[in-house]
Amino acid sequence: MMKIAVLTGAGVSAESGIKTFRDSDGLWEGHDVMEVASPEGFERNPEVVLDFYNQRRRQLLTVQPNAAHRALAALEKMHEVTIITQNVDDLHERAGSTNVIHLHGELLKVRSTFDEDLILDWKEDLNLGDFCENNHQLRPHIVWFGEMVPMIEVAADVVARADAVIIVGTSMQVYPAAGLVQYAKPDAHIYFVDPKPSISESKRITVFAEKASIGVPKVVELLK
């Protein structure tokens, strides 16, 4: 049984209908990213930020995992698999993956603005006036620009112990997540799945220049 670390990004969920992080014009659903994904944006206009994530949350509840999510879940039957995702959706979990690290938070959770460790499951709209038990406003449980990525060290340790690393649907351009692959052992094989791969094939790296739903099942077949 191998230890396998899987790094996933927006490309995994795009085929389920989840919109990728930002469009080619740099806007996210027509918003300046810093207005809806920074502590300063939330302080300036909390209603806009809450509405933005309410729309994302509602959409998430209408979509389903795809073949890539399901293939990664099936890999758990054969190996020790940890998924490290930049995605804030729960599609890996819904597909059956049991060991998922969310680097950038989770859309179906909220947390207290007073105590960041006070985290609640949340599937409804989140509005101004929704308070935690300490009477402070709740906010999306999302890691915004300028905030610490609390799970990054845990993720680095997982990659460092892995016998193989699978990278799916991420350009590996967004730090600190992009730096994770550097922790891989010299003899750990790397499988890269992306329609427009940003790295080249080598003795150590196998590239599948395909969308996630096609490429991931092929990687899983190789690792059986």
Q: What is the 3-state secondary structure (H, E, C) of 135-179?
A: CCEEEEEECCCCCCCCCHHHHHHHHHHCCEEEEECCCCCCCCHHH
From 22, 66, 50, select the one nearest 173 (Cα to Cα): 22
From 104, 213, 224, 212, select the one nearest 164 (Cα to Cα): 224
3-state secondary structure (DSSP) of residue 59: helix
Is residue 69 a contact partner of residue 91, using CB atoms and an 8 Å limit? Answer: yes
CB atoms within 10 A of CB 79: 15
- Annotated active-site residue 31? The verdict is no
> What angle (nearest 5°) sits at the alpha carbon of residue 150, between those of residues 142 and 6?
85
224 Cβ contact list (under 8 Å, min separation 6): 78
Among 69, 104, 141, 189, the one annotated catalytic: 104
From 56, 159, 19, 52, select the one nearest 103 (Cα to Cα): 159
In Å, how far from its chain's centre is CA 218? 21
- Residues marked active site are found at 104
